[in-house]
Amino acid sequence: MVQPSELEIAGDEGYIIRSVFFDNRPVTIIAANKSKGVLYGIFHFFRLIQNRQAIDKLSIQSKPRIQKRLLNHWDNLNGSVERGYAGKSIWNWEKLPVEVDPRYKDYARVNASIGINGTVLNNVNSQAEILTKGYISKAAAIASVLRPYGIQIYFSIKFISPMEIGGLSTADPFDPHVRRWWKEKAQQIYQQIPDFGGFLVKAYSEGQPGPQIYGRTHADGANMLAEALSPYGGIVMWRSFVYDLSIDSDRTKCGYLEFVPLDGQFATNVLIQSKNGPVDFQPREPINPLFGAMPKTPIMMELQITQEYTGQSNHLVYLAPQWKEVLDSDTFSKGPGTLVAEIVDGSAENHTLSGIAGVSGIGTDRNWMGHHFSQANWYAFGRLAWDPAFTSGQIAEEWIRMTWSNDPKTIGVIAKMMAGSWEACVDYMTPLGLHHLMAAGHHYGPGPDYVNPGRADWSSTYYHKADSQGIGFDRSSKGTNGVGQYAEPLRRLWDSPVTCPEKYLLWFHHLPWTHQMSSGKTLWQELRLHYKRGVEAVGIMQKTWDSLEGRIDQQRFDHVKARLEMQLENAREWRDVCLEYFGRFAESPNSGHDR
């Protein structure tokens, strides 16, 4: 029925589902090497049933392409969630370990059903307290609920924890006392949580301390932690989200400049965790140039499920198309056909360790994510982590069938809304390669005129550089040469405004308002068109949703309807504020543009 040799390639997490006859009766076999594989196989089988697929002639073989498939909670120990839009943290630290919320089991099942196998419990802007005995016991209680579902827990750690909670006078990674402190800490953790996954580290970034304080490198810091965790099989996920402008005045170049020279210096249980793009989860960014640039180091990809810059829990924005655009991008790092997905799954360089992380949008809200449609992003993250080759349409259809309805009309209508929602958001927020136009602090609405008095790179004006001459950030070889961090032919293609894809145009080029676009229109006309199109698309989404009244339950219908109304209002605001602001330059007497 299923030969042991067939299971060889299934690994620890894969499975085979097969319809066979046994004793003259039709049966379904779900076979795997480990219990985790059976678990995933069963969820696959449930999915088929929920999707109303035939289950009498099954012949399925599946295994995940990426090894570590993690959620990253940006949850603080006081119960708040950084960039969380769905209530409070689900981790009730006050009541743990005595009271264990029954929701943790639901959380575990939901995540296991989409193949998530790890979760970082606390914010990357970490507090040292997570490593105290009390919190380790609390975390151990969570771990025991997640364990049967194949989910390991991880901590974000603060680099100077040995000083803050260990009584040491330094956190220098070369100091023997510091090294011993981390080793003892690891031992303490593993005593209580034998399958603990490891540490996530935000170091020397946005005020977080790092090894640089002591003149050491990222590799020195990461390797010290790796040494402490390695006896237990733990890993270190060291983030490349750094932008020290003393290294380069173009923020997008900083991560690459700091990390590429360290390639080959990291211990074997270290992954570098890099955001999809070089800035910060903007509605659209070109790929992070680090993908493909550090062949000796496994690069993990960090995506953002919580919609910090894409309307938070008020806008319907299905992010799978954004993630697919990144995963399917060719880095050309080893010649044509070296996709980001192949860097991330480790196959491009034969890495045995690979990983992907999604910044969670989960909170205490009854619907977990604030917006019913935000759940689609959680679902899509898990599915793409399992196999980046799945299409966003296929994932959307599965989710719609399981969440809303199996009625073909309903599926078609919702699928269409979801498919165009991300591009619509890009259009009404940051079209044609614009980025970082949001208001300061909350990052919700438009703020193209925002200037941070202390930091240029936290100002919108730093990114769009609009003036009467034109708009856009010149990262071409004549500007900051940000394009120089990409492999050929990307470097050459993106270097010229003629061959640069228009979706990235103002990311790489500063162009006159009169610049002629491929449509024959001027840049200013085209920009206006995009903003207008974005708003119109939301209007269409709204009407489309209204056509579903009566086909889905009233409560969820009303929830989405109310949010779409707000989304339309917000999209109009983005359009009006941005066009009014840019218009001041584009239509000024010396812009060269007809008024």
Q: Look at strands 152-157 and 511-512 and give their pairing.
A: unpaired
The residue among 357 and 537 lying less far from ligand GCU, judged by its C-beta, is: 357
Residue 65 and residue 53: Cα distance in Å, rounded? 24
Size of the site for ligand GCU (CB under 6 A): 9
Lookup result for tokens 């001027």 = 522
Minimum distance from residue 350 beta carbon to ligand GCU (Å): 29
Q: Is 159 in the site for ligand GCU (CB under 6 A)?
A: no
The encoded tokens of residue 295 equal 């062949």
308 is catalytic: yes
Residue 541 and residue 533: Cα distance in Å, rounded? 12
The residue among 308 and 365 lying less far from ligand GCU, judged by its C-beta, is: 308
The residue among 258 and 423 lying less far from ligand GCU, judged by its C-beta, is: 258
13 is catalytic: no
Q: Where are the alpha helices (DSSP H) in 315-459?
A: 320-327, 340-344, 374-386, 392-403, 408-429
71-130 positions binding ligand GCU, by CB under 6 A: 82-83, 124-125
Minimum distance from residue 396 beta carbon to ligand GCU (Å): 27
Residue 411 and residue 398: Cα distance in Å, rounded? 9
Minimum distance from residue 275 beta carbon to ligand GCU (Å): 7
The residue among 202 and 218 lying less far from ligand GCU, judged by its C-beta, is: 202
Residue 207 and residue 125: Cα distance in Å, rounded? 9
Which residue from 241, 266, 504, 545 is in contact with ligand GCU, where contact means CB under 6 A? 241
Nearest Cα residue to 526 out of 471, 459, 589, 590 = 471
Minimum distance from residue 537 beta carbon to ligand GCU (Å): 26
The residue among 248 and 308 lying less far from ligand GCU, judged by its C-beta, is: 308
The residue among 309 and 524 lying less far from ligand GCU, judged by its C-beta, is: 309
Q: Is 463 in the site for ligand GCU (CB under 6 A)?
A: no
The torsion of the CA quartet 72, 74, 80, 85, rounded to 10 degrees, works out to -80
How many helices (H) and strands (E) in the chain? 18, 13
242-281 positions binding ligand GCU, by CB under 6 A: 280
Residue 101: Cβ within 10 Å count: 16
Query: How long is the chain?
Result: 595
449 is catalytic: no
List the Cα angle 226/231/234 in 5-degree steps: 50
Q: Where are the alpha helices (DSSP H) in 387-484?
A: 392-403, 408-429, 460-464
Q: Is 158 in the site for ligand GCU (CB under 6 A)?
A: no
Q: Look at strands 299-304 and 270-275 and give their pairing.
A: parallel
Catalytic residue of the set 94, 206, 565, 569:
206
List the Cα angle 583/586/591 in 5-degree steps: 150
Minimum distance from residue 460 beta carbon to ligand GCU (Å): 14
The residue among 291 and 545 lying less far from ligand GCU, judged by its C-beta, is: 291
Minimum distance from residue 307 beta carbon to ligand GCU (Å): 12
Catalytic residue of the set 13, 248, 308, 474:
308
278-337 positions binding ligand GCU, by CB under 6 A: 280, 308
Minimum distance from residue 141 beta carbon to ligand GCU (Å): 27
Q: Look at strands 118-120 and 68-72 and give their pairing.
A: parallel
Q: Is 202 in the site for ligand GCU (CB under 6 A)?
A: yes
Catalytic residue of the set 280, 330, 502, 587:
280
The torsion of the CA quartet 524, 529, 530, 533, rounded to 10 degrees, works out to 170
* Footprint of ligand GCU (CB under 6 A): 82-83, 124-125, 202, 206, 241, 280, 308
Catalytically active residues, by annotation? 206, 280, 308
